[in-house]
Amino acid sequence: MDIRKLTMPAMALVLFYCVYQSEKLTRVENPPGPIHITYWEKWTEFEGDAIRAVVDEYNRKQNKVHVDLLTVSDIEKKTLLAVSGGNPPDVAGLYGPNVAQYADDHAVMELDAYCKQYNITRDNYIPIYFDIGYYNGHVYSLPTTPASTALHYNKQLFREAGLDPEKPPVTIEEMDQLAEKVVTRKNGHIDKSGFMPAEPGWWNWGWGFVFGGRLWDPATGKITANCPENIRAYNWVRSYTDRYGASELSTFRSGFGNFSSPQNAFLSGKVAMEMQGVWMYNFIDQYAPGMEKPVLNWAAVPFPHPADRPDLAETTFADEDILVIPRGSRHPKEAFEFIAYVQSQEGMELLCMGQRKHSPLAKVSPDFIKKHPNPYITVFSELPKNKNVISPPKIGIWPEYQAEMNAAFEQVALGKKTAKEALDYVQNRVSLMNEDYQAQLKARKEAGQ
């Protein structure tokens, strides 16, 4: 008898026993108590304190799920890398414009079934804030803190220029005229400005919307960078260059301090009027308390519209921070339970009050408005409800498109190109990008990816 035939089963049993003991020693057992989910968020300082308060309240109110909050820088890139590496967080706090790219890359989960389970619908929200997370027929994200924009103006600079501080401009033409009256010069150079399209420079890509333009046609999928309204808007930008000189404006801007400082152009009284968001109150309160006391020396009103386009009145840019469940989340059900709490009136108002933002929800408690420190919070909460609300296009190449539009703005503002030349270039370049991107998506879909 071959002895090997007798020893092989015994050897197999020994090997199995060794593997079992090794697994028993190294296996991480689920600890008793709540399921822990990992939540990555980008916020620091008072914004981080606000979300920490929400997480702590959620963890206190129930014992099924415990949220472990981690502050993560460069969260857009790191979340994608984590998904690719198969070790993502359970919840990630991203930005509204990320939705299309992440959805196209299959980096985030569809939330439709969860929304239905928790009765979360578009009717719960100011519509634009739900729509930002809705892409290609699916819900991919839900909002946290929203933002809208308005014209902020310095009443004291109006008084110094002999203007009525209670009569802000209603049309762009009026704003241009008032801006000219505010301008002062020192040693032959601009010392104070009424308005500058390039300041703060965060919506350089979007001035066309203020004049009725758009950047793409969702019905056809075509890029519309050089539509007549966009060209008109960039011609308006160029009018400031022609009036004051590209070099003079560049020199003036070079003297501005950091945005988050008392040397901020608006806070230091260098620029009288700016398009700014609901967050601006926080910086006024922190860095320019003199604008608050003894009287309110600033105001926020709807941004002016072209005189010949009254239909564009109360135009505002709207965006938001968002919550997503990354693909590969270990606890998606529990992750959405937390997201649902943030979407509740209690959770959302705790967060938005902590960050001094308005709520994205359709229903807001009377105390939220009454106790809100921003004296113009209703301006920011009402503007996004109208038809002239603007948000970045939901296309996967938006980061590249935005960069091209910003570059075109600079070319026009510096007097190096006409509006038509700059936007024709963007039209051709981004159209090719879009065609390539759509072809890649089609190929991936056909390959079952």
Q: What was the pLDDT predicted at 31?
A: 59
357 pLDDT more than 80: yes
CATH number of domain containing 384? 3.40.190.10
133 and 71 in a single domain? The answer is yes
Closest of 34, 35, 36, 71 to residue 52, by C-alpha: 71
**DSSP one-letter string for 115-153:** HHHTT--GGGB-HHHHHTTEETTEE--EEEEEEEEEEEE
Residues 174 and 93 in one domain: no
Same-domain check for residues 332 and 310? no
Q: Return the pLDDT at 20.
A: 39
Can you say whether the dihedral through the CA atoms of 74, 407, 397, 220 is positive or negative? positive
Q: For the chain, how many residues are written?
A: 449
Considering the domain architecture, whether residues 201 and 275 belong to the same structural domain is answered as yes
Distance of CA 186 to the CA centre of its chain: 38
Give the global pTM: 0.90
Query: At which residue do the structure tokens 């009424």 appear?
Result: 194
pLDDT of residue 295: 86
**Is the pLDDT confidence value at 7 over 60?**
no
d(CA 70, CA 47): 13
Average pLDDT over residues 321-328: 98
State whether residue 320 is helix, strand or coil.
strand
Same domain, 414 and 379: no
- State whether 129 and 251 are in the same domain: no
The gap from C-alpha 212 to its chain's centroid, in whole angstroms, comes to 21
User: Average of pLDDT values for 283-294?
Assistant: 91
- Please indicate, yes or no, if residue 449 is contained in any of the structural domains: no
The pLDDT value given to residue 311:
98
Kindly state whether residues 82 and 161 are assigned to the same domain: no
Judge whether 448 lies within some domain: no
Looking at the structure, tell me whether residues 189 and 229 fall in a common domain: yes
Q: Is residue 417 part of a domain?
A: yes
* Residues 220 and 93 placed together within one structural domain of the fold: no
Give the mean pLDDT of the chain.
Answer: 93
Dihedral sign from CA coordinates of 76, 77, 83, 86: negative
Range of the structural domain that residue 374 is part of: 35-147+318-390
pLDDT digits (tens, 9 = 90+) for 16-62: 444 334 434 333 445 578 999 999 999 999 999 999 999 999 999 99
Percentage of residues of the chain with pLDDT beyond 90: 90
Strands 271-277 and 142-154: antiparallel
Q: Do 73 and 103 fall into the same domain? A: yes
pLDDT at site 447: 82
Residue for token digits 């909050």?
A: 69
71 and 137 co-located in one domain: yes
Q: Which ranges of 344-418 does DSSP label H, i.e. alpha helix?
A: 345-354, 366-371, 377-382, 398-413
Same domain (yes/no): 234, 378: no
Above 50 in pLDDT, residue 240?
Answer: yes
Q: Which residue has the tokens 């926080």?
A: 282
Structural contact between residues 65 and 95, judged by C-beta atoms closer than 8 angstroms: no
Confidence of residue 449 (pLDDT cuts 50, 70, 90): low
- Alpha carbons 244 and 17: distance in angstroms, whole number: 84
User: What pLDDT shows up at residue 165?
Assistant: 97
445 part of a folded domain: no
Backbone angles phi, psi at 439, to 5 degrees: -65, -40
**Strand 91-95 relative to strand 316-324: parallel, antiparallel, unpaired?**
antiparallel
- 1 part of a folded domain: no
Q: Are strands 298-301 and 184-186 parallel, antiparallel or unpaired?
A: unpaired
**Is the pLDDT at 6 greater than 50, yes or no?**
no
Total structural domains within the chain: 2
Mean pLDDT over 170-193 rounds to 96
Residue 244 lies in a domain: yes
| Mean pLDDT across 136-142 | 97
